Structure 1
Amino acid sequence: MLQTASTTAGLISERRTIPSDTAGVELQLINRRPDSVKEFTTERTLVMMHGATFPSASLFDVPVEGESFMDALAHAGYDVWAVDARGYGGSTRPPEMSLPPKEGAPLTSARTAVRDLRAAIDFVLRHRDITRVNLLGMSWGGSVAGAFTAELGEKIAKLILVAPLWLSRTKLRIDPGGALNTYRVVSPKTFETGWRVAAPEQKRQALIPEGWFEAWEQVTLATDPGAPTAGTIRAPAGAVQDVRNHWTADNPLYDPAVIRNPVLLIAAEWDIDVPLEMAQDLFVRLTSADYKRLIEIGEGTHMVLMERNRRQAFDAVIRFLDERFEPSS
């Protein structure tokens, strides 16, 4: 169901909900595209999957310096879609998220998010009458995108993974230890401290240009008007359970060796949540990819898409998508 639509600066913006594979669970899709485009193609269509804590609008659609990541992709000629998994952003939140967080089965695992991503991709394929899409996943969304492509690579043209979760021999910051609740309550202001601390002390202030954090915080808080406490959002805890079940347990969610698509990995120099060595390990395991590329963005953290060097990541994604590619036989 189309909820909102507008045209600004030559771009069409739409938000809609679509059915998931579960009765009563709707998924939000954000779409941004050039208003001049009337015919749609696989090569110019991109679907994006968010990370463990923040939904698509927060990670991909905060306009600073005149445009968001989605805007930049659309200005480059792409029909861009971002999906919220259940429990995130504008998608249906499980009933448990209307109650105070309590110990219990964590909601929205990566396996569940793979199903939601499939619903979104299948909708885009039908809606645009195309046979494949390009796919981008960030952080935990990279796990989801990787697992989807390993299983259903015929639906994907190119795969882009930004700071994707992968195997770790050490504890990850997202997992505080102890019993898990069904969902987490996250304060963007508190998150800012952990965001900046990943950079060297003398670089922390300049990491996020003036006014950018405030813009990001405003968009982020608006994604969850029903949060139990002012200045917070709710995030399902399934991603933390995934860390325990897979990424710190030497139990990969998927086998990179079965992915045949072209793959771009983007890492950041100061990322302490998904350090470069994790991306490098994933990269070498992509043994069947038609071609692959690993790019490290200097002076960036796990949130590189919202930092002063974000354009380097934007440009790397657009160049990769723009490249002509003929699949091997």
Structure 2
Amino acid sequence: MNNKFLAHVPIVTEDLMIASDTAGIELSIRNKRPAAMDTFSNEKTIVMVHGATYSTASLYDVELDGYTFLDYLASHGYDVYAVDVRGYGGSTRPPEMEQPADQNPPLAGTETGVRDVGTAVDYVLNRRGLTKVNILGMSWGGTVAGAYTSRNNDKVNKLTLVAPQWLSTKPVPIDTGGPLGSYRLVAAGTTKERWLSAAPEGKRDGLIPDGWFEQWVEATLASDPKAKAVHPGHIRAANGPIQDIREYWAAGKAFYEPGSITVPVLLVHAEWDIDVPLELAQHFFTSLTGAAYRRWVEIGEGTHMVLLEKNRLQAFQAIQAFLDEEYSPAQ
């Protein structure tokens, strides 16, 4: 499917920098919305957060087949805010990230992510005069979004989680072992083999349409321009989320209690996800015992990176449908 369905919806893009709760640290937020939008509501506002490795621009705003995930949501009437946690994308990188990684402990763990998302949510609520927003997170961002919501149900309309982390009795692929410095270097251009290896051998061709991987690599490397001179072909990713895997998810200890989430929840998962396997996602889903209602959408022929693959529109449409439906919490 091409971008024809977006053609008649002019979209406004704003790149914002807001103060974090730490002196000298600013957070980057990309806002996309319909140009004609002049009224704002809890139901039509979204705050999004990325995963443990790639920024919001890399996961949600890469133009593939003429449009991005943010474009899709904005074109369907949403005021969308994608925030980078400190150390990622356009947000300030802590000074430790300008030093050799082995000189400092892991940076930007989940608690920091929750604080930064909270700062972004409060900014959006104040900017638009709202009382609630929708929250969306992927992978580690799903942990951040879930933990934030569990503590702030009163500020969340609905929660969407794409392949969120949960307790694992098996090794978690993103943790390759060894000592953890403050950050790690990721060679984006060499990740295609691992990405495709999650799919059955006979199904790998076409999973990422021609040209899409190269466009994603370009956008990903552009998200960390300072790394270009020192570490060509790489981005820096904070190691706090990896440390949390070791201290929480791989140790059988939940970072937060999913049962404390009381808003509607959508879980989106893809069948070939080896980072968040099916049984792990199922365990998480059944732990959402306090949700007003919960829904699971399983995307066939997709990996952990389904939002950037041939079947991404299935995920987009499922998320849009969930957000579009009317929901009035009991008073």
Q: Give the secondary structure class of the aligned counterpart of 1:185.
A: strand
Q: Which residue of 2 aligns with 1:260?
A: 262
Contact 1:103 1:179 in 2 (8 A): no
Give unmatched runs, 5+ long, in structure 1: 1-7
Q: Which residue of 2 aligns with 1:233?
A: 235
Question: 197-206 or 78-87, which moves further after superposition?
Answer: 197-206
Paired AA for residue 270 in structure 2: A
Q: Which residue of 1 aligns with 2:317?
A: 315
Q: 1:205: Cα distance to partner?
A: 2.1
Q: Which residue of 1 aligns with 2:250?
A: 248
CA distance in 1 between partners of 2:243 and 2:210 (Å): 35
Q: What pairs up with 1:149-188 in 2 under 5 angstroms?
A: 149-188=149-188
CA distance in 2 between partners of 1:327 and 1:194 (Å): 43
Q: 1:216: Cα distance to partner?
A: 0.6
CA distance in 1 between partners of 2:116 and 2:92 (Å): 11
CA displacement 1:86-123 (0-9 Å, x = unmatched): 00000000111112221531000000010000000000
Question: 303-312 or 94-103, which moves further after superposition?
Answer: 94-103
Q: Which residue of 2 aligns with 1:126?
A: 126
Contact 2:160 2:267 in 1 (8 A): yes
Contact 1:103 1:180 in 2 (8 A): no
Q: Give the secondary structure class of the aligned counterpart of 2:328.
A: coil
Q: Which residue of 2 aligns with 1:274?
A: 276
Q: Share of identical aligned residues, percent? A: 54
CA distance in 1 between partners of 2:46 and 2:261 (Å): 18
CA distance in 1 between partners of 2:86 and 2:104 (Å): 17
Query: Residue 75 in 1 paired to residue 75 in 2?
Result: yes
Q: TM-score, normalised by structure 2?
A: 0.96
Query: Residue 145 in 1 paired to residue 145 in 2?
Result: yes
CA distance in 1 between partners of 2:273 and 2:19 (Å): 35
Contact 2:136 2:142 in 1 (8 A): yes
CA distance in 1 between partners of 2:103 and 2:31 (Å): 36
CA distance in 1 between partners of 2:42 and 2:180 (Å): 40
Contact 2:84 2:91 in 1 (8 A): yes
Q: Give the secondary structure class of the aligned counterpart of 1:308.
A: coil
Q: What pairs up with 1:1-329 in 2 under 5 angstroms?
A: 10-102=10-102, 104-227=104-227, 228-329=230-331
Contact 1:20 1:119 in 2 (8 A): yes
Q: 1:9: Cα distance to partner?
A: 5.6
CA distance in 2 between partners of 1:193 and 1:238 (Å): 25
Q: Give the secondary structure class of the aligned counterpart of 2:72.
A: helix
Question: 102-111 or 289-298, which moves further after superposition?
Answer: 102-111
What is the number of residues matched between the two proteins? 322
